[in-house]
Every structure is written in C-alpha cells, then in structure tokens.
A = this chain, B = another copy of it.
Amino acid sequence: MDHAGDGMDLFFTPDTCALASLIVCYDAGLDITLTPISFAKGAQKDEAYLAVNPKARVPALRFGPDILTETPAILAYLAQIAPEAALAPSDPMEFAQAQSFNAYLCSTVHVAHAHRMRGSRWVDGEAHLEALRRKVPQSVAHAFTYIEEHALRGPFVLGERYSICDPYLFTLANWMEGDGVDPAQFPRITAHRNQMAQRATVRRALAVEAEVRAALA
C-alpha cells in the first residue's frame, strides 16, 4: 500500500471515542502507528502529550507537522485522503447529513455520557456529581431515542452504504450498558451494533484495543 495517510500517529486510549478513528484508519487502509495514552496514569496531562493536544483528550492524529483533533474532523479527513474506500458521500447534501450525524454524536450523545465519568467539567461537589450521574441513563437514552427513531436509516446510518458515521455510532452505542441504558429499548441501534461487530476492520480494531488495554494495565 502507498497511502497519503501512512506515517500517521494516532494517539489512542482504550474505552474512549478514539476507537472510532482507529476503525476508520483500518477501513481506509491506512498504516498508522498507535501511541497509547494512559488515562489511568493521567498521561493525557503529561507535558509531552499536552504539546500534542493541549485539550488533554484523545484522539489526536499526527501527520508530519500537522496535529488534528476532534473525532468528526478526523473521520472526515481520513475519508477524504482515502477516496477509494468511499467512506463519506460525495454529494454535498449527503456529506452534510453525515456531518450532522457525527456532530450530534459529539455534542449530545458523547456529552450526555460524559456526565457520568467527567462531571467535574461542569460541577463541583460530590452530591452534585452524584446528581449528574443519576440523570445519565435518562439523558443518554433520550439522545439514542432520537437516533433510533429519526437518524439511523438502516442498515447503516446513511442507509445502504457504510460510512464514517457507522464506526462512531458503534463506539458510542457500546457505552449504553455502562451508562445504565438497556439496548433492548433500541432494536435498530442494537441490530447496527451486532452487524458492526462482525466487520473485519471493527474486529481488528477491537483486538488492538484489547492489546493496548492489557499493555497499559
């Protein structure tokens, strides 16, 4: 393979939304280097990593002098540099709908989830943090209800065609149980999860994530 994307580093932490970028790297056929960042050890706040991403978050994609952050931007970029993989629509309105879906995931679904583990971003005090955690099953379910009823066309997010929306939905939908949400409420999202879990690039990414998780433990 001789891709524009080779020579890329993906800064990665298991059990975060960085999984979506890893899957799309494999979908795009890119030979990336994975750099694990241990959240358990607080490595996202090490000086070396803050020089990569001052936001102290993952994922971050480094390619030569450029560093790219934020999952929707990384996914669309990977699709764009590997056009033969056809991971994003070329029609402007269809591409916009893909972007809209991914923006909803980052601004609403992921945010609702984050109130369980990272509530200290928005409130101080254990009683208030606990109150945030109590609401997570409801706010996460509310966001997935919108996706189930309106946004997931099926079988893939955009319909018949696999795209950068699918690994991102798969990644966040896998957090449901941990957030106290019963996936059985969402048969279409559950069918999507099951179908995604069978894909070769997803299985490869999950296996690599498991290796990184073990190495960081």
Contacts and interface: CB of A to CB of B under 8 A. Distances in A.
B95 A80 contact: yes
A77 B93 contact: yes
A66 interface: yes
A154 to B, nearest CB: 17
A208 B192 CA distance: 43
A66 B93 contact: yes
Interface residues of A, number: 46
Contact of A92 (B77, B131, B135, B150): B77
Interface string A72-86: 111011001100000
28 contacts: A54-B146, A54-B149, A54-B150, A69-B100, A70-B100, A72-B99, A73-B96, A73-B99, A73-B100, A73-B103, A76-B95, A76-B96, A76-B99, A77-B99, A80-B96, A103-B103, A106-B106, A107-B107, A107-B111, A111-B111, A112-B121, A122-B132, A122-B135, A123-B128, A123-B132, A125-B131, A127-B128, A128-B128
A70 B99 CA distance: 8
Interface string A117-152: 000011111011001101100010000001001100
A73 B70 CA distance: 14
Contacts of A199: none
A141 B215 CA distance: 36
A110 interface: yes
Contact of A73 (B97, B127, B128, B139): B97
A103 B106 contact: yes
A12 B62 CA distance: 38
Given A66-B93, A77-B93, A146-B54, A122 B99 contact: no
A115 B135 CA distance: 14
